[in-house]
Amino acid sequence: MTRLGIVGGAGRMGQALAHELAKEADFEVVSLVDVNEPASLATARWYSSIEELSGPDVDVIIDFSVPEVTRSVLQWCLANNVALVCGTTGISADEIASWEKEIVSSNGHVLFSPNFSLGAVLAQRFAAQAAPYFERVEIIELHHDRKIDAPSGTSIAAANMIGDARRKAGLSAQIDPTQHETLDHARGALGAEGVRIHSVRLPGLVAHQEILLAGPGEGLTIRHDSYDRVSFVAGVALAVRAVTSRAGLTVGLNELI
Ligand code: NAD
Q: Is the CB of 104 under 6 A from ligand 1?
A: no
Write out residues in the chain with pLDDT < 70, as ranges.
none
Domain boundaries, the chain: 2-116+230-256, 118-227
Residue 84 CA to residue 81 CA, distance in Å, equals: 10
The pLDDT value recorded for residue 143 is: 96
Distance 126 CA to ligand 1 centre (A): 28
Give residue 114's pLDDT.
Answer: 87
If you write DSSP's letter for every residue of 163-174 in order, what string do you get?
A: HHHHHHTTPPPP
The CATH H-level (homologous superfamily) assignment of domain 2-116+230-256 is NAD(P)-binding Rossmann-like Domain (3.40.50.720)
In 3D, which of 30, 143, 19 has the Cα closest to residue 89? 143
Measured in angstroms, how far is the CA atom of residue 94 from the centroid of ligand 1?
21
Residue 147 a catalytic site member: yes
Ligand 1 atom closest to Cα of residue 13: 26
Reported as a single tens digit per residue, the pLDDT across 204-250 is 999 999 999 999 999 999 999 999 999 999 999 999 999 999 999 99
143 has catalytic annotation? yes
> Per the CATH hierarchy, to which homologous superfamily does domain 118-227 belong?
Dihydrodipicolinate Reductase; domain 2 (3.30.360.10)
Cα 48 to middle of ligand 1, angstroms: 14
Beta pairing class for 218-226 and 207-215: antiparallel
Rounded Cα–Cα distance for residues 159 and 128 (Å): 9
pLDDT at 155: 95
Atom of ligand 1 nearest to the CA of 144: 25
Q: pLDDT tens for residues 115-131?
A: 999 999 999 999 999 99
pLDDT at 93: 84
